[in-house]
Structure 1
Amino acid sequence: MPLRVVSYNIHSQRDDAAALVAVARSTAPDVMIVQEGPRRLRWRQRSAALAASFGLVVAAGGLPALGNLLLTSLRVRVTGTRCQRFPLTPGRHLRGAAYADCLVGRDARFTVAGSHLSTDPAERPAQAERFARELTGAPAPVIVGADLNEEADGPAWAVVAAGRTDAAVAADRADRPTFPRGPLHRRIDALFVDPRITVVHYDVVDTPQTRLASDHLPILADLLLPGPD
């Protein structure tokens, strides 16, 4: 069963709002994994409004997941959700994750998860461990989208990637940065999938609009979900 997934750090909607909406709608995802979504005052209404502007609905996340938000098209049925908060390190920002168990068609099930790890290299590995541990025993093939705040040679990246396919590597596009601002162009956002899921297409959407919409570039992947065992 085909599934289009976008993973996107939207920079707390601080940039060009019209460009952000245009980018989201142009990618036409079945699932959008959002980092830095609404997490404070009126977060439910703001999350619903954001999803509607993208042509999607809220599946999970928001304040309980500390800004991690899972959005879906009406093609996807959500059968269960949960949120996670990582322990607070004094002086640092709270971080967390969102999870949703989903169904496409009659029997193509998958679990989608999103997180945004700390900018502190000493704090990230423990968060990655908790994030990965929550996915152990997921009832269906897992799709993970995350802003890991480090590149593929980092320890937290290795923990989240373990046992999963890096969609960028599978598509031979691991050289494409997702964080283009500043002097260093880095791939710090990733999409990992269960080995049973086929990566049909992967790209980092780099256009004039995406440069206006956020400080990160969106990841877009076309996947093929396995049928029931």
Structure 2
Amino acid sequence: MEQTIRILTYNVRSLRDDRAALARVVRSCAPDVVCIQESPRFFGWRRAARAMAASFGLRVVIGGANASGNLLLAGPDVKVDAAEVLYLKHRRGYHLRGLALATLRIGNSRFTVGGTHLSMNLEQRVYQAGEVLGHLDGFAERNQTKSRILAGDFNSYPGSVEWNIITERLADAWMVSPMGAEFTSTGKNPYQRLDAVFVSRDVYVVRAGVPTDLVSQADTALATDHLPVLAVVRI
């Protein structure tokens, strides 16, 4: 049987909420790779990132403050072939945004993953949608990987201009094989889908969505102001 890979994306709101509940949510999903948004970005951020990863039973791959809060974590069976962080093109008056990238191996599966968090500003967000795709493709090509995964908080929704830019190149995993709940924001009263996992067309999606069958609603309400998205895929 082909190996499945579990990719989780989660906005943790700089760990301002219930950290024990957050750890229970992540552990319940048993992820191989986690794309974190809004990880700690100020004094002691590296130590805070390591402690958070350890509470999940994972380790830091790359990212944090040097990727504007985007952080990649991985389990013990994940091998890292390459990793880098970068800042997206900045516009004065808006938060600096970033991207964390890694080429990973799990068993015989090899793929590139990118984690990001797009701007609140529409014009900048539309530009960034194309920008992150370009960086993802370039990194994958340099590291000779066909399979690509892009995950994060996109501050937009299905059908928007920026969402359509991404889905011209990558598949929305929820649309391919939905399981669980769709909406990811807010954590206590979800009414919109801002968070997603996108995959290249060669990646087979087993399931994707807010894993309501795996996590406690009480914990997700306490953990942060977003809900996690879990995509189980085969490369």
Range class of TM-score, shorter chain:
over 0.9
**What are the ranges of 5 or more consecutive residues in structure 2 without an aligned counterpart?**
none
TM-score, normalised to structure 2, is: 0.90
Mean Cα deviation higher: 4-13 or 136-145: 136-145
Identity of aligned residues (%): 39
Query: Of residues 34, 49, 52 in structure 2, which corresponds to 1:50?
Result: 52
**CA distance in structure 2 between the aligned counterparts of 1:111 and 1:162, rounded to whole angstroms:** 18
In the TM superposition, 1:1-229 aligns within 5 A as 1-105=3-107, 107-137=108-138, 138=140, 139-140=144-145, 141-172=147-178, 176-180=182-186, 185-206=191-212, 207-225=217-235
CA contact (8 A) 1:60 1:71 kept: yes
CA contact (8 A) 2:181 2:211 kept: no
Aligned residues: 224
1:95-146, Cα deviation, whole Å (9 max, x unpaired) = 11100001111x3110010000011112101111211111224132111111
**What are the ranges of 5 or more consecutive residues in structure 1 without an aligned counterpart?**
none
CA contact (8 A) 2:183 2:190 kept: no
CA contact (8 A) 1:168 1:174 kept: no
- The one-letter code sitting in structure 2 at the alignment partner of 1:179 is S
Once superposed, what is the RMSD of the aligned Cα atoms?
1.7
Shift, 1:86, TM fit: 1.4
- The one-letter code sitting in structure 2 at the alignment partner of 1:199 is V
Q: List 4+ stretches of structure 1 deviating above 4 A.
A: 181-184
1:163-212, Cα deviation, whole Å (9 max, x unpaired) = 21111001145971011358771011110111111111223034221111
Shift, 1:158, TM fit: 1.8
TM-score, normalised to structure 1, is: 0.92
Aligned to 2:25, the other structure's residue is in SS state helix
